[in-house]
Amino acid sequence: MLCRHCKRTRSNRPRGLCWSCYYAPGVRERYPSTSKFARRGVGDFLGKTPLPQIPTLAPPGTEAKIRILAERASRRETLWHPDDASLTSGVPAECRAG
């Protein structure tokens, strides 16, 4: 396979680049990793995360709730707000199980 950048030399470095292109300033960052082990997506984050600014009224399990969770993850916020809608939201206390 030829280098993804210069298209002249055989690629022998990660990201499908040749040695010269891989170590040239600014080139490596232009090409995403092709490794199946590369980090993709939001990634794992350890540490304190800020609380979302507002709770959601979307019920658990709905597409709207999943979309909101994905947005929160991309902003590295805590996924669950204490005041998010729950399965028992709007149900009187005397009607709740447990």
Coil, strand or helix at 13: strand
Give the integer Cα–Cα distance in Å for 64 and 60.
9
Instruction: Give the pLDDT confidence of 29-57 residue by residue, as tens digits.
Output: 898 887 777 766 655 566 678 899 999 99
Residue 22 pLDDT: 92
Residue 38 pLDDT: 72
Q: How far is the CA of 75 from the CAs of 7, 32, 43, 45, 87, in angstroms?
A: 37, 21, 12, 11, 25
Give the integer Cα–Cα distance in Å for 46 and 5.
35
Mean pLDDT of the chain, nearest integer = 84
Which residue's structure tokens are 């002249």? 8
In the predicted model, residues of the chain with pLDDT beneath 70 are 39-47, 89-98
Give the integer Cα–Cα distance in Å for 83 and 54.
8
